[in-house]
C-alpha cells in the first residue's frame, strides 16, 4: 500500500487537523476493529475511512462491499476510496449526516475519526448519529490512542450506552485501543 502511505502523508502535510494522526492505521489495528464482523453483520457504515485500511479489513472479514457505506470529508481520500472500493457507497459528507442518508438498522458503525480531538458538540453529534442508524444492540466501534475511552463518561450515560474495552494494539503507531459501544 505504498500509494496509500504517500496519499496519507500528502494529506497529513496539507491538512493536519483533519487527518489528526501521524501514520495510517496498521493492518493489526484494522483487523482488531473488524473483529466480529462478517456476512451476518449486514450493512456496515464507516466514518472517516481515510486511505481505506479499515475498509479493507471490514471487507476481508466477510462484509460484502455493497453492504459498506462510507462517510469521508477529504476529497482526495474520497477519490482514492471510489477507485479502490467501487462497489461500496461513498458519501462525501460528515458522519453527523448519516441519519439523513442511511436507513436505520445498520449492523455496525466503524469509526476511524479522531473523536478525542474534536469539540464536545461535534463528537456528540457524530456519536448520536451513529446510534440513530444502528440496529438495537449493534456496536459503534471506535479506536483511540488515549488512555481513556473516546467518548466521555457523561456522554456514555446520557446516551444510555454500555462500553466494552477491546484489544490494545501495540503494532500500531502510536499504539491504540479498540472500544465497542452499544445502546443499553
| Domains in the chain: boundaries | 2-135
24 contacts 71 by C-beta, under 8 angstroms: no
Distance in angstroms (rounded) separating the CA atoms of residues 102 and 118:
23
The stretches in the chain having pLDDT less than 50 are 1-2, 8-13, 16-19, 22
Closest CA to 29 of 181, 174, 171: 171
Question: What pLDDT, on a 0 to 100 scale, did the predictor assign at position 111?
Answer: 97
Q: Residues 6 or more apart from 147 whose CB is under 8 A from it?
A: none
Class of domain 2-135: alpha beta
Question: What pLDDT, on a 0 to 100 scale, did the predictor assign at position 173?
Answer: 85
pTM of the model: 0.89
Distance in angstroms (rounded) separating the CA atoms of residues 175 and 184:
29
Question: What pLDDT, on a 0 to 100 scale, did the predictor assign at position 117?
Answer: 86
42 contacts 107 by C-beta, under 8 angstroms: yes
Question: What pLDDT, on a 0 to 100 scale, did the predictor assign at position 4?
Answer: 61
Question: What pLDDT, on a 0 to 100 scale, did the predictor assign at position 23?
Answer: 56
Question: What pLDDT, on a 0 to 100 scale, did the predictor assign at position 184?
Answer: 78
Closest CA to 161 of 133, 129, 139: 139
Amino acid at each position: 500500500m505504498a500509494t496509500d502511505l504517500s496519499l496519507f502523508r500528502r494529506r497529513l502535510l496539507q491538512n493536519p487537523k483533519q487527518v489528526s494522526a501521524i501514520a495510517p492505521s496498521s493492518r493489526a489495528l484494522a483487523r482488531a476493529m473488524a473483529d466480529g464482523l462478517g456476512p451476518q453483520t449486514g450493512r456496515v457504515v464507516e466514518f472517516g475511512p481515510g486511505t481505506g485500511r479499515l475498509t479493507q479489513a471490514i471487507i476481508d472479514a466477510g462484509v460484502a462491499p455493497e453492504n459498506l457505506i462510507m462517510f469521508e470529508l477529504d476529497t482526495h481520500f474520497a477519490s482514492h476510496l471510489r477507485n479502490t472500493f467501487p462497489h461500496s457507497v461513498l458519501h462525501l459528507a460528515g458522519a453527523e449526516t448519516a441519519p439523513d442518508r442511511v436507513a436505520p438498522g445498520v449492523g455496525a458503525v466503524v469509526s476511524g475519526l479522531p473523536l478525542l480531538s474534536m469539540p464536545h458538540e461535534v463528537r456528540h453529534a457524530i456519536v448520536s448519529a451513529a446510534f440513530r442508524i444502528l440496529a438495537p444492540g449493534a456496536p459503534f466501534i471506535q479506536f483511540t490512542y488515549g488512555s481513556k475511552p473516546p467518548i466521555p463518561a457523561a456522554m456514555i450515560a446520557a446516551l444510555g450506552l454500555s462500553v466494552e474495552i477491546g484489544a490494545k494494539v501495540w503494532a500500531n503507531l502510536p499504539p491504540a485501543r479498540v472500544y465497542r459501544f452499544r445502546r443499553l
